[in-house]
Amino acid sequence: MPDDAPDIRRGLEGVYVAQSAICKVDGVEGRLYYRGYAIEELAANSSFEEVCYLLLYGKLPQRAELTQFNEALVKERELPEDIIYLIKALTGKERAIDVMRTTISALPAYDSETYDSSAEANLRKSIRLISKIASIIAATGRFSKGEGYTTPNPQLGHAANFLYMLNGTEPEAEDAKLLNKMLILHAEHSSNASTFSTMVAGSTLADLYAAVVAGISALKGPLHGGADEQALAMMRAIGSAENTGRYIDDALSGKQRIMGFGHRVYKTYDPRARIIKSDLEALQNSADAEVKNLTSIALAAEKIMVERLGKTRNIWPNVDFFSGPIYTALGIPPELFTPLFAASRMPGWCAHMLEYWRDNRLFRPMEQYTGAVGLKYVPMDQRE
Ligand code: ACO
């Protein structure tokens, strides 16, 4: 290939950047595996904590290993006092996702192992990050409602404790179970934009905190993790199931993207969306009128989009589409959707870093220069 005609793959579409044994995304068959286990099995049987272990250590834990891992996570739930003040100071002044990103950036100040790059220290930091990010989001949620910080409850599992810290009351077992499933579904997805960003930053041998902050920055955009909040905003704008068809037709004829649909890899129904669709259907009977209405809009939109773009253009619902009504049913406000996505994806980002650092190579792709060369410098007073 001559230098003046390089093979440019826009958006790195179809480009392989690494080998990995963490996750397989089969975009043709609509299948997803973490460390070889089908997402359907993990979502039905596992806990988020167990999936974190699986992703980080590469195998399902024995009972004693999981107990020890759970204890390590519980121990890391507390936030340094300064961090709680920082969250409080920023909440309301910037978006929750930015509060979270800034706060994660501040955590190294309280971690003596930040610059210890051994695999053991990075595992310990991964556990800290998985645990603390949930506490940070819950605290942001509390402060944004004008309420106080809730101290973590060591008796509760990860999902239940998050809801407890956010809402101040112990959740129903069913709610904790549903959130647990959502966390599992979002925990990992190979080299998507945020994981790749994490890996790019990490490949410079920056520390784990710096690497995941790059991941959070990439996740927040509406073409990636930010789509869940936008999808809910669209459902609210639609207003009722009856309006859905008209709204979508207007949007599509105006060349607008419908958030929560389409995927770079899945050219079929996203298996994660398929799993939560049944939970969404169950919400049709919710006693909460808003949840019931959002659910009916989401189901109507899904049906219309499958006809309009799924069957004809392979643009199917992705996992972000159904999250809104489910999180609303769990008492999670929309500004926390994308932060919660980051909390779910933290084990995936960390697992990728742990794996990539075992055989690190700096990411440094090329770009084709299309500007001029050899221009003569013109002094300021002679410029036209
Ligand atoms: N609504 C309407 N049209 C769409 C949508 C959509 N959601 N997604 C893609 N298209 C159309 C594009 O307009 C484009 O049409 P054209 O060929 O007539 O110009 C065509 O499909 C291809 O789109 P691309 O952006 O080139 O496809 P890409 O592979 O880059 O798309 C993406 C992936 C960015 C996710 C896209 O589908 C999108 O913008 N979806 C909405 C945002 C979203 O839901 N993101 C979450 C993704 S999942 C996740 O990150 C967890």
Q: How would DSSP label each residue in 98-115? A: HHHHHHHHHGGGG-TTTT
User: Looking at this protein, which amino acid is placed at residue 112?
Assistant: S
- Helix, strand, coil distribution of the chain in percent, nearest 5: 60, 5, 35
* CA separation for the pair 352, 56 (Å, rounded): 8
Q: Which atom of ligand 1 is nearest to the CA of 192?
A: 50
* CA separation for the pair 172, 304 (Å, rounded): 33
Lookup: tokens for 204: 């410079």
* CA separation for the pair 69, 71 (Å, rounded): 5
> From ligand 1's centre to the CA of 261, what distance in Å?
7
* CA separation for the pair 244, 298 (Å, rounded): 9
> From ligand 1's centre to the CA of 357, what distance in Å?
32
Nearest alpha carbon, ligand 1 atom 4: 257
Cβ-based neighbours of 19, under 8 Å, separated by 6 or more: none
Lookup: tokens for 201: 């930053």
Could you give phi then psi for residue 26, rounded to 5 degrees? -100, 100
Give me the sign of the Cα torsion angle 154, 155, 158, 160. Answer: negative
Task: Write out residues with Cβ below 6 Å of ligand 1.
Answer: 11, 223-225, 227, 257-264, 315, 318-320
The DSSP code for 171 is P
Quick one: pLDDT at residue 5?
85
Nearest alpha carbon, ligand 1 atom 46: 224
DSSP annotation string for 326-358: HHHHTT--GGGHHHHHHHHHHHHHHHHHHHHGG
**Residue spans of beta strands (DSSP E) within 191-340:** none
Going residue by residue through the chain (384 aa), what tens digit of pLDDT does each one get?
445 789 999 999 999 999 999 999 999 999 999 999 999 999 999 999 999 999 999 999 999 999 999 999 999 999 999 999 999 999 999 999 999 999 999 999 999 999 999 999 999 999 999 999 999 999 999 999 999 999 999 999 999 999 999 999 999 999 999 999 999 999 999 999 999 999 999 999 999 999 999 999 999 999 999 999 999 999 999 999 999 999 999 999 999 999 999 999 999 999 999 999 999 999 999 999 999 999 999 999 999 999 989 989 999 999 989 999 999 999 999 999 999 999 999 999 999 999 999 999 999 999 999 999 999 999 999 998
Quick one: pLDDT at residue 290?
95
Q: Which atom of ligand 1 is nearest to the CA of 313?
A: 21
> From ligand 1's centre to the CA of 346, what distance in Å?
24
> From ligand 1's centre to the CA of 258, what distance in Å?
8
Q: Which atom of ligand 1 is nearest to the CA of 193?
A: 50
* CA separation for the pair 296, 283 (Å, rounded): 9
Q: Which of 223, 274, 275 has the most ligand 1 atoms within 8 A of CB, as the residue to mutate? A: 223
CA angle 262, 264, 268 (to 5 degrees): 55
Q: Which of 228, 263, 266, 349 has the most ligand 1 atoms within 8 A of CB, as the residue to mutate? A: 263
* CA separation for the pair 270, 344 (Å, rounded): 17
Nearest alpha carbon, ligand 1 atom 13: 257
The closest alpha carbon to 193, from 29, 367, 352, belongs to 352
Nearest alpha carbon, ligand 1 atom 36: 262
Q: Which of 261, 267, 338 has the most ligand 1 atoms within 8 A of CB, as the residue to mutate? A: 261
Q: Are 32 and 184 in contact (CB under 8 A)?
A: no
* CA separation for the pair 82, 109 (Å, rounded): 10
> From ligand 1's centre to the CA of 200, what distance in Å?
24
The SS3 assignment for 257 reads coil
Q: Are 164 and 331 in contact (CB under 8 A)?
A: no
* CA separation for the pair 349, 130 (Å, rounded): 10
> From ligand 1's centre to the CA of 260, what distance in Å?
9
Quick one: pLDDT at residue 3?
57
CA angle 68, 69, 73 (to 5 degrees): 120
CB-CB neighbours of 245 under 10 Å: 16
Place of tokens 């402060």: 143
Q: Are 318 and 260 in contact (CB under 8 A)?
A: yes
Catalytic residues: 263, 320
CA angle 200, 206, 211 (to 5 degrees): 55
Nearest alpha carbon, ligand 1 atom 23: 262
Quick one: pLDDT at residue 303?
94
